[in-house]
Amino acid sequence: MKNPNILIPFRIFPIIVLVLAFCSPLHAQHPGGFSPEISGKAIRTVMRAVADWQIRNFNSVKHHPLDWTNGALYRGMMEWAKISGDDTYMKWLYEIGNRHAWQPHQRMYHADDLVVSQMYLEMYLERTDDPYRYRILAPTQARLDYVISHPSKGSLYIDYRDPQSMERWSWCDALFMAPPVYVRMANITGDKKYLDFMDREYRETYAFLYDQEEHLFYRDYRYFPDKKREANGEKVFWGRGNGWVIGGLASILDGLPKESEYRPFYIRLFSEMAEKVAACQGEDGFWHASMLDPESFPKPEASASAFFCYALAWGVNGGLLDRVKYEPVVRRAWQALVGAVYPYGKLGWVQPIGENPKNVTADMTEVYGVGAFLLAGSEMLKVAQ
């Protein structure tokens, strides 16, 4: 007679396989107990888990601490630090900035090397009781002042063999990295020159990379329709690239004074992009690596989805987007994103570093995806209220 204790695992094995399959981030709404409920408690719980996992695993991330990848993480972590009720996160960010003397990254003109200053300037505003807080502000202000006084004569035709072609905002990601820093500096100093420079450079990039028919941005000129097309014949619009742009627009508008002469242009652009972005959302709540060819890129893409969720939720909360039309979009997006979080806090389905649509797998993650997720959560808390 066979030992029944030996047979039991084989009897339940198919059930275990089925359970594991539906507990993966792609299939489950809340693996590991993370509730998709749009409530303050549920949102805070998953935000804390994601933030804590990233901090625990930060030393294994192979990026310079001041790299753009981490700069995007710090931007989201700062928003979480403000609302978490736990000074652990603010201390973690302060230690990073202080260790690097609050310097932006190395390249004087490169937008990617300025994004870390978004966290710096927020830290400056937070530390009102610090008599030496000007040391937080000074390096970024010196960088901006030099660039404004010595504007680059580089081309918008990006060429990685020519560093000067990266001195302008010649790729769409740059519109997230640099412009919000100029806006925040203008607010802090009261000096309009920062807004004037930002607006002039932004409009040049807008005129060059924005498609007036599709209301989306090309990543750079190499993706213009006469150069590249998707497999279905559509124009190539990268999901995360447009996530960078509309996420940057939310940050710009959040800082632009209500009476600013520049505000109407950015409101119109934000509204146009928001309508197109919402129309591209998948039935599962995610967006894909390609905005107009989801069949070639059917997997979820969490970094684009998180930036879109953040920007659209910000628009709803700020009254720029119709709540009846857009709140269901951001609710679906957030619930999808929560479903991409592993039980231990890792955010999956994040496209690796790149410049065009690429396929993604469930175990892929990156720090900028976590930054976007925390930005989205900070706005979803307001939606929940």
Residues known to be catalytic? 173
Contact by Cβ (8 Å): 349, 299:
yes
* Distance from C-alpha of 94 to C-alpha of 88, rounded to nearest angstrom: 10
Helix (H) or strand (E) holding 216: strand 216-217
Beta bridge partners of 210: 217
* Distance from C-alpha of 244 to C-alpha of 293, rounded to nearest angstrom: 19
* Distance from C-alpha of 279 to C-alpha of 287, rounded to nearest angstrom: 10
Radius of gyration, alpha carbons of the chain: 21
The answer for residues whose C-beta is within 8 angstroms of residue 197's C-beta and 6 or more apart is: 144, 147, 148, 151, 182
**Residue carrying the six token digits 């997006």:** 333
Helix axes 68-83, 367-384, angle to 10 degrees: 30
Helix (H) or strand (E) holding 84: none
The answer for residues whose C-beta is within 8 angstroms of residue 286's C-beta and 6 or more apart is: 300, 301, 302, 305, 333, 336, 337, 349
Q: Which two tokens stand for residue 21?
A: 């399959």
What angle (nearest 5°) sits at the alpha carbon of residue 376, between those of residues 375 and 379?
A: 90
* Distance from C-alpha of 95 to C-alpha of 92, rounded to nearest angstrom: 5
Q: Which two tokens stand for residue 162?
A: 């020519």
* Distance from C-alpha of 303 to C-alpha of 288, rounded to nearest angstrom: 10
Q: Is 211 helix (H, G, I), strand (E, B) or coil?
A: strand
Instruction: Compute the residue count for the chain.
Output: 385
Q: Which two tokens stand for residue 310?
A: 């953040």
Beta bridge partners of 211: 216
* Distance from C-alpha of 121 to C-alpha of 91, rounded to nearest angstrom: 15
